[in-house]
Structure 1
Amino acid sequence: MRRVPGCGTAAVVDASYHGRVSDTGELSTTVARLAAGTVEYRLDRRGDRVVVVMHGAHMRAGLTLDESAYADADLTVLAPSRPGYGRTPTSTGTTPAGFADVVADLCRRLGIDRVAAVVGISAGGRSAMALAARHPDLVERLILQTAQAPLKWPTRGTRLLAGLLFPPATERLTWGGIRWLLRRSPDSGLRMLFGGLSTMPPRQVVARLGPEQRAALVALFSRMRSGSGFRNDVRPGPDVSAEIGQPTLVIATRRDGAVPFGHAEHLVRAIRRAELVESQSDSHFAEFGADWPAVSGAIGAFLDAGPSPGRT
């Protein structure tokens, strides 16, 4: 394990990210119709090397945080909406293994025969791990950022949350209430949300955020939706950690209230070529940690290490 040294300044989410922004404030996406079904994706073309980004819960292809590490390295970003999110129905792939095969097929459709890394963020970690395990000839490296491991997850509380607040029939109302609160009292809304995202007191977490960071978080939370994806995410699945042979970078913070640090420790033990980078973020969002520039630099260095020499 290594702790990335802080840089002394707060990270700011890049609101002018390099992708194409639509009239809704989201990045433009495309829908592909594959043999397994319809899948929504965002493709930000830059250089020849490609990273696949699997987003977390309540997100979709058109929403993103800071992808500057990939932009700075001139990497093309392929970001699909996982099953149940955005315009990807739950029937497309459904499970992490099934969706891994869908993404591999999408890569073939787009003429991508090798990806520098697949990135799994939070609940997207299981799909990223499945893609690395099932398609080693496609995936060179794996990055798991505050990602869930098949370790006592989902908890009973998470399943209850999915059933009570975010079922497909009523999640629109839940997010409508969150948007209303964020408009009426942004800091109160952020404190409520960070109650489940940090082990620190929410008031302290929000107080340590800069104005631009708060505005970015309000904008992000205001666009989130669960669709049928969150209910799908909380279904248990197999642990494929031991099947992963690629070099793996695990990024986690001990103050994560959504995914306990033990998940990262499990991943580092179970994946034989894994390395742990400990973020100093106050919450589940590593991008908002004061040391994010250094963490982002560690991501860039990991990707610059070159193609994986293969499974060992």
Structure 2
Amino acid sequence: MEDTVTMTTLERATTVAHLPAGPMEYRLEPRGQAAIIVFHGGHMRAGLALGEEVFSAAGYTVLVPSRPGYGRTPLQTGTSPGGFADATSELCRHLGIDQVAAVVGISAGGRTAVTMAARHPELAQRLILESALGFLPWPGRRLRLGAPLAFSALIEKATWAVVRALLRRSPAAGLRTMLGGLSTESIDKVLAALSDEDRATLIALFSTMRSGRGFLNDLRSTPDVASQVTQPTLIIASRKDGAVPFVHAQSLAAGIPHAEQILSDSASHFIWFAHDYPLIANQIRDFLSADPSQRG
């Protein structure tokens, strides 16, 4: 069974599939025979698109599940990266997808993407990690102590209501507040690197985010399976990322046997708004078009 609903104008249509593992919300945008699975990061869900344009413009079908606790995927569907990787494999069978060109892990979705590549090599031909969380201890003490207060199941709705109110009343101040912890640079440098269009996009994105029960679930540690990944892997990260320290990218690159790393010049966690992203997008396209058996 499936339940389809179209969300607000800032979002895209999603569907809930009722799988043996449990209900899973997802968005499927069919284009060509080759497909890409995108696991988004914290506070995101299937209805929100970020960093997907490079895949859609290249003609790939894009499949985006809401990870456990986000959107309409309950925490019980998968719960762990391993469990959700297996549940996503079920979703692919349900949709008639027997192989994907790449699994993409963004931010906190990185662990799920790596785990899926390790557990389902017959399904995933490649792995792409963007500003991705690895298996090192995370987060830092400040976020670990503050997250249960701001993002618990009872509080997170009010937290995001305050964020939306701030962004409505003073978009500039709201954007400074939201981007402040996402860079190791000063907030003035971060904002100076953004175009007016980029700022509007980020304001709209932050105004639509929710944490559900998913973000606190993301804080749990999970087994490191990086060494079990056999597919060619592309790792993209910025040294100025304040949300996921650059050492995570270095650790993933060292742990995954066939990994290559691209250094983004982004001033923050959001590599897609950096001046060098068009060049990185070209490298992503080259990576996807190359024979995966010849990479590494």
TM-score by length of 1: 0.91
**Gap runs ≥5 in structure 2:** none
Other structure's SS at 1:157 match: helix
Aligned pairs, number? 292
Give 1 or 2: higher helix fraction. Answer: 2
Per the alignment, residue 71 of structure 2 pairs with 86
Q: Which of residues 102, 105, 114 in structure 2 aligns to 1:129?
A: 114
Asked if the contact 1:187–1:206 (Cα under 8 Å) also holds between the matched residues in 2, the reply is no
Per the alignment, residue 233 of structure 1 pairs with 218
Per the alignment, residue 13 of structure 1 pairs with none
Aligned-pair CA distance for 1:309: 6.2
Q: Deviations over 1:175-220 (max 9, x none)?
A: 1111111111111111111111000111221132111111000000
Asked whether 1:54 is paired with 2:39, we answer yes
Q: Which of residues 7, 19, 29 in structure 2 aligns to 1:44?
A: 29
Give the Cα–Cα distance (whole angstroms) in 2 for the partners of residues 135 and 280 of structure 1: 32
CA-based RMSD = 1.5
Give the Cα–Cα distance (whole angstroms) in 2 for the partners of residues 210 and 264 of structure 1: 27
Amino acid at match of 1:136: P
Q: Which of residues 200, 207, 212 in structure 2 aligns to 1:222?
A: 207
Per the alignment, residue 169 of structure 2 pairs with 184
Per the alignment, residue 108 of structure 1 pairs with 93
**Gap runs ≥5 in structure 1:** 1-19
Give the Cα–Cα distance (whole angstroms) in 2 for the partners of residues 128 and 285 of structure 1: 18
Amino acid at match of 1:302: F
Q: Taking structure 1 as reference, are residues 112 and 264 closer, same or farther at Cα in structure 2, changes over 3 Å only?
A: same
Give the Cα–Cα distance (whole angstroms) in 2 for the partners of residues 277 and 208 of structure 1: 20
TM-score by length of 2: 0.95
Asked if the contact 1:70–1:77 (Cα under 8 Å) also holds between the matched residues in 2, the reply is yes
Q: Deviations over 1:65-107 (max 9, x none)?
A: 2322112221000000000000000000000000000000000
Asked if the contact 2:10–2:204 (Cα under 8 Å) also holds between the matched residues in 1, the reply is no
Give the Cα–Cα distance (whole angstroms) in 2 for the partners of residues 126 and 161 of structure 1: 22
Identity %: 55
RCO comparison, higher one (Cα < 8 Å, 6+): 1
Q: Deviations over 1:43-64 (max 9, x none)?
A: 0000000000000000000001
Asked whether 1:157 is paired with 2:154, we answer no
